[in-house]
Amino acid sequence: MNESGCAVAPLIWHGDAENGWLEMLDQTQLPTKQVAIECRTAGDVFEGIRMLRVRGAPAIGVAGAYGLILAAQQIHSNSSRAFLGELTRQADWLNSSRPTAVNLSWGLGRLIRLAEKMPDSLSLTDRRSLLLEDAKAIAREDKAMCTAMAQHGLDLIPPGAGILTHCNTGVLATAGEGTALAVIYAAHRAGKNIRVYADETRPLLQGSRLTAWELKKAGVPVTLICDNMAAMVMRQGKIQAVLVGADRIAANGDTANKIGTYTVAVLARHHGIPFHVVAPTSSFDLGIESGTQIPIEERAAQEVICGYGKPTAPEDVDVYNPAFDVTPGDLITSIITENGIIRPVTKEIIEKTLGESWKPGL
């Protein structure tokens, strides 16, 4: 059980590196069914990520790392060069399952760098075991980062605040209590008497299916709103802070997050409400200068015109369905990381706050 009170984990590894497997909570079934799937191959993990059975940037990073362990189980070459070559090919393939969240590339890149350092003399069994230990460390460290972000973010939440959030950034999206939602859980436990306004988050409804579900389970006061109600609740004075997560943050602070986040940032600026991004260092991509270089995933039209099996538009209508948008850094009041708070959001303060802890991905 997480401290949040939400007794659920998106990913659980079972067994050893040779024969182990990954249990993945199928988030597409929430909130009506709490069922898990068994991932026995890297292909199962690829499918789980692509279909959003597991989703949320940090959780995708952990899933990708475990997916690579399943890939390593199928590599039988004794030559370290052949092992590394095939592992790298599999990592590149897993990384192509979803393009925007940089955590996936970050987790896979970390395991590949570990494999590169392994001596030729190492047995196949030892290679796989070392990789599994590191995949587990990625999950453990993610959990610790959630805790640290929550501590840093707590002071930014005024007592009695209404907090608007978008998409799902909680227990379901990470290996810990979340990014933005970890701050919210901490504020709730600290007795700050907060209320969360959860955007529904069209088209895949992560806000209503997942955020409202996990906050209710944890006993945090939550009010669900449709995305197009955000301006109204801000105008009515119900919102004192916006907290969101991130899928990829460029060197200048431009931040990709779930589609609709940019709209919320513009609204927050108009209403004079602080807009905070909560993200671990694994969500930064200092290899790119600005948000224009962030690859934005486009998803199937069906998600917009026939969400969860219910037709809601003419079948043959043209649809544009980007899964993420980019909020310019100058609309962001602060970025809360496990290393501390970046404020104002500038390239220099980002570099200083991340320091040596930032590592590139694949």
- Interface segment toward ligand MRU; rule CB under 6 A; list 8-16, 48-56, 73-81, 114-122: 48-56
Q: Would you say 362 and 109 are in contact if contact means Cβ atoms under 8 Å apart? A: yes
For 294-303, give one letter per residue: b (16+ CB within 10 A) or e: bebbebebeb
d(CA 347, CA 345) in angstroms, rounded, equals 7
Decide if residue 152 touches ligand MRU (CB under 6 A): no
Decide if residue 247 touches ligand MRU (CB under 6 A): yes
Position among 63, 101, 112, 341 found at the interface with ligand MRU (CB under 6 A): 101
315 to 334: interface string for ligand MRU, x by CB under 6 A: --------x-----------
| CA neighbor of 242 nearest in space, from 252, 250, 234 | 234
Q: Would you say 103 and 61 are in contact if contact means Cβ atoms under 8 Å apart? A: yes
| CA neighbor of 156 nearest in space, from 332, 351, 362, 7 | 332
DSSP string, 256-273: EEETTHHHHHHHHHHHT-
Decide if residue 265 touches ligand MRU (CB under 6 A): no
d(CA 286, CA 342) in angstroms, rounded, equals 14
Q: Which of residues 276-315 bind ligand MRU (CB under 6 A)?
A: none
Residue nearest to ligand MRU (CB): 245
Position among 95, 179, 240, 339 found at the interface with ligand MRU (CB under 6 A): 179
- Interface segment toward ligand MRU; rule CB under 6 A; list 67-75, 108-116, 244-252, 310-318: 244-252
User: Which is closer to ligand MRU, CB of 17 or CB of 246?
Assistant: 246
342: its two tokens: 């970046």
Q: Is residue 247 among the annotated active site residues?
A: yes
Would you name the residues annotated as active-site residues? 247
Contact set with ligand MRU (CB under 6 A): 52, 55-58, 101, 167, 169, 173-174, 178-179, 206, 245-247, 257-258, 323
